[in-house]
Structure 1
Amino acid sequence: MDLTAPTAALAAAAADLVRLVPGKLVDPVLSGVLLTATAAGVELGASDRERTARVSCPALVHTDGQVLVPAKPLAETLRALTEPEVRLVVEGNRLAIRAEGARFALPLLDHTLHPGVTSVSGSGGVVSGASLATALSTVASTAARDEALPVFTGVRLRSEDDRLVLRATDRYRMAIASLPWAADGEVDVMVPATLLVEVAKQVSGVGQVRLVAAANQFAASWGQTAVTTAVLDGTYLSETKLALSDVDTRVVVDADALAAATRRVALYSDARGVVKLEVGDSEVRLRATDQNAGEAEESVKTTVSGGRTSPAYQSRYLLDALRPFAGQRVELAIQPGMRATVLTAVDPGEVELRYILMPMLPPKA
C-alpha cells in the first residue's frame, strides 16, 4: 500500500474513528485500524466485534492495499503533524508515515484476523444532524453508566408516525425527545448510550443522518462516516409506566435563574445534595440545610397555577434537568407526594423535550 493524503483530513478521520470505536487493549487486533486503499481513496475501519465504524478520506493512491496498524498511535501521530500532506507506505513489516523531514513507522498487525467492518441494511429514516445532536446531548446523558445494569445504559429510539422519539432513564430521571424525521420503515431499538454520546458530537454540524435498524443491529451514517452496533433489550422503556396524570401545581420560571439559584443554595445542602423547592403565589423559594454547612434560601420569581407544594430534589439532577432549557422559560408540572415532576419548554422548538424527575425525601430541618 502506498498513498498520499491531506494531513488534516486523514487526522480528522482517524480521530473520529478512535472515538467511535475506542478498541480493546487486551486484543491488539481489535485495537487496530484497518486501512484500505483503492482508486476511490482510503477507508479507515475499526471493530471490537460489538461495534464497528468506517470513515472514508480522499487520497491519491499509488498502490492499492490493505493493512492493519495500531489505531491510537496512528491518530496521535497524524494529529501532531503540521505538513499539509502525508504519505503512508508499507516498508517491510512496517507502515511508514512520511512527512517532509520526518518518518514514523508502525508495526503491521495480521489483518486476516480482523473481523472486518460490517454494514446494516434495513428499515429506517433520515433526521437532521443538528436536531439529533440536540436530542442526544440531553437524552443520552440520562442513561445509567453502571454496566451491572445494562438495560438502563441505552437510549430507546422509536419511530412514532412522522416523529423519532428518544427515551433514556437511570431509574431516577427520564428524558424524552421527539424530532421530525423522514422514514421508510419503522424503528424500535435500544442503542448503547456511550456510542450515541459520541455520535451527537460528530453529527452536530452535518445536514442529514440516516438511521437503520435490522437483525439486532443499529447503524448510523453521515457524510463519509458510518457506525454500527449490537443493540440492547429496551422494549420495556416507556414513560407510560409512570404516573403523570395527577399534576396539581404548574410553575413557569426562567430556567437560567432557577439553575443559578439552585447552584448557590446547593452549597449548603446535606450529604445527598438535596434542595427543597417551596412554591408560593408568585415565587419559588429554594432551601437547603446541613448540620455542618449551615443553611441557605433564595427566591426566584415565577408564574404559579394550581396548589402549593414543596417538593425536594437532588440538586445535581435538578441542574441536569434545567440545562437543556438554558435561555428559555420552563414549566415544572409538579405532582403531589413522591410522584414525578415533568419539565417542558414553554415555547418548544423543532426538538420537543420532556424531562421527568423523581423527587427526594426533603432534608431534615
Structure 2
Amino acid sequence: MVGASFPAWTSPRLPTAGSDPDLTVRFDCPATTHTDGEVAVPAAPLAETLKMLGAESVRVVVEGSRLALRLDQARFALPLLSVVESPASEPPRVSEVDGPAFASALRIVAGTAAKDDPLPLFTGVRVQAVEGELTLTASDRYRMAVARLPLRSPGALDVLVPAALLTEAARQARGVVGLHSGPGRFGLSWAGGLVGTAVLDAGFLSEEAIPSGAVDTTVTLDADALAAAVRRVGVYAEDRRVLTLEVGDTQVRLASARQDTGEAEETLKANVSGGRTSPSFQARYLLDALGAFAGERVVLSIQPGMRACVLRAADLSVGEVALTYYLMPMLTR
C-alpha cells in the first residue's frame, strides 16, 4: 500500500483508504473532526507508528507539509504526498454471507493452505458461490478442507484468493459480508470497511480431484477425546511424528515408541462399521483436522491403501457450516 488518505467527512467517523496495484483497502474509524480536508501520507510508517503507540486515541493535525500524530507526551510527523485519485472502486457485489459463519469456516479452510509454495495454487482459497451456497476450498497437497455455508442472496462466483489476506479481511469484517467479483479482482465489504485484491492466476483446486468412493471402514467418536490421545501418545513418536490408528471392532488404539523416550499406547471406545484397518497419519495434521471438529463427534471415513481419510461432523444442524476435511495417510517408514 503506497499511501493512506483522510478525506473530508462531517460525521463522527473518519474514512481511511489506501491502495497499491494489487490491494485496495477502505475502512471507517471513530473520530471527532474539526476541519474538513483530505491528505495522503506514506502508509508503512503511519501503520507502524499507530501500532507501536498502543494509545486509545490520537490527535491528527495537518502542520504545513506534515501530518502530525500528537499525544500528550509525543509527536510524530509524516510527509504529505500528492493526493492521487481515490483507490479503484470495488468490483460489483455478487452476493452476501453471514460474517461470523464466513470467518469461522475460513479460519479452518485457510489453515490448510500452504504458507509459502512455488505454486500459487496452494497458497490460495478457492471461493465459489453457486446459487444459494458458498464453498471454500484450500489444500497444501497433504490435506484439503472444504466448507459449505448458505448465502444470504443467490450469486455466481469462482475465484482463487490469497489465503492470508482473505483470513485477515474476514477477521476484521462485521455483520453481513458482501462478496464482490470482477475481471481479475475479488472483494469483501461490510459496514464501514472494504478489502479488494487481485486474484491468483493459477489453476483451481477441486474436491472432485480426490477419490473418496472406496471407503471400507467408518469410525465415529468424540473429536476432543481423540485429539487429546494423539497429543499424549505423540510425545513418544519418532521424529516424523507419524502415529498409527489401529481400528478394532469397537475401539481405536493409538501406539508409538521411541528408543530414547519410551513407548505409549491409548485405547478409545468408538462406533466402528466395516473391517479392521490401521492407517497412519502425521500427528500435527491429524490434530489440525480434529481441531476443526472441536466439541463434536467426528466420523472418519477410511479408504484402503494411501487414499485420503475423510472427516465430517457426525451431526450437522440445518444452516450450519458443513465441513469436509481430507487427510492423506503417511508411510510409517
Distance 1:216 1:158, change over 3 A: same
Q: 1:125 aligns with which of 95, 102, 105?
A: 95
The structure carrying a bigger helix percent of its residues is 1
Distance 1:179 1:297, change over 3 A: same
Distance 1:200 1:120, change over 3 A: closer
1:111 maps to 2:85: no
Shift of 1:292: 3.4
Larger mean CA deviation between 148-157 and 48-57 belongs to 48-57
Q: Could you say which residue in structure 2 is the equivalent of 1:182? A: 152
Shift of 1:110: 2.1
Q: Distance in 1 between matches of 2:130 and 2:263?
A: 47
Q: Report if aligned partners of 1:342, 1:355 keep a CA contact under 8 Å in 2.
A: yes
SS for the counterpart of 1:38 is coil
Q: Distance in 2 between matches of 1:175 and 1:116?
A: 37
Q: Distance in 1 between matches of 2:8 and 2:140?
A: 43
Q: 1:309 aligns with which of 273, 277, 288?
A: 277
Q: 1:281 aligns with which of 231, 245, 249?
A: 249
Q: Which amino acid aligns with 2:18?
A: A
Q: 2:122 aligns with which of 147, 152, 155?
A: 152
Q: Could you say which residue in structure 1 is the equivalent of 2:54? A: 80
Larger mean CA deviation between 218-227 and 285-294 belongs to 285-294
Unaligned runs of 5+ in 2: none
Q: Could you say which residue in structure 2 is the equivalent of 1:35? A: 6
Q: 2:164 aligns with which of 168, 171, 194?
A: 194
Q: Could you say which residue in structure 2 is the equivalent of 1:338? A: 306
Q: Distance in 1 between matches of 2:104 and 2:316?
A: 13
Shift of 1:201: 2.1
SS for the counterpart of 2:160 is strand
Shift of 1:235: 4.6
TM-score if structure 2 supplies the norm length?
0.92
Q: Could you say which residue in structure 1 is the equivalent of 2:332? A: 362
Shift of 1:168: 0.3
Q: Distance in 2 between matches of 1:145 and 1:86?
A: 35
Larger mean CA deviation between 333-342 and 285-294 belongs to 285-294
Q: Which amino acid aligns with 2:90?
A: V
Q: Which amino acid aligns with 1:353?
A: L
Q: Could you say which residue in structure 1 is the equivalent of 2:40? A: 67
TM-score if structure 1 supplies the norm length?
0.84
Q: Report if aligned partners of 1:38, 1:61 keep a CA contact under 8 Å in 2.
A: no
Shift of 1:136: 0.4
Q: Report if aligned partners of 2:257, 2:264 keep a CA contact under 8 Å in 1.
A: yes
Cα displacement string for residues 14-56 of structure 1 (whole angstroms, at most 9, x for unaligned residues): xxxxxxxxx5xxxxxx2x4322233354221222321121111
Unaligned runs of 5+ in 1: 1-22, 24-29
Q: 2:188 aligns with which of 213, 217, 220?
A: 220
Q: Report if aligned partners of 2:99, 2:176 keep a CA contact under 8 Å in 1.
A: yes
Q: Report if aligned partners of 1:39, 1:64 keep a CA contact under 8 Å in 2.
A: no
Q: 1:141 aligns with which of 111, 114, 130?
A: 111
Q: Which amino acid aligns with 1:165?
A: T
Shift of 1:232: 1.1
Q: Distance in 1 between matches of 2:295 and 2:258?
A: 31
SS for the counterpart of 1:185 is strand
Larger mean CA deviation between 43-52 and 250-259 belongs to 43-52
Aligned residues between the structures: 327
Shift of 1:184: 4.6
Q: Could you say which residue in structure 2 is the equivalent of 1:7? A: none
Paired residues for 1:207-246 under 5 Å: 207-246=175-214
Please provide the CA RMSD for this pair: 1.9
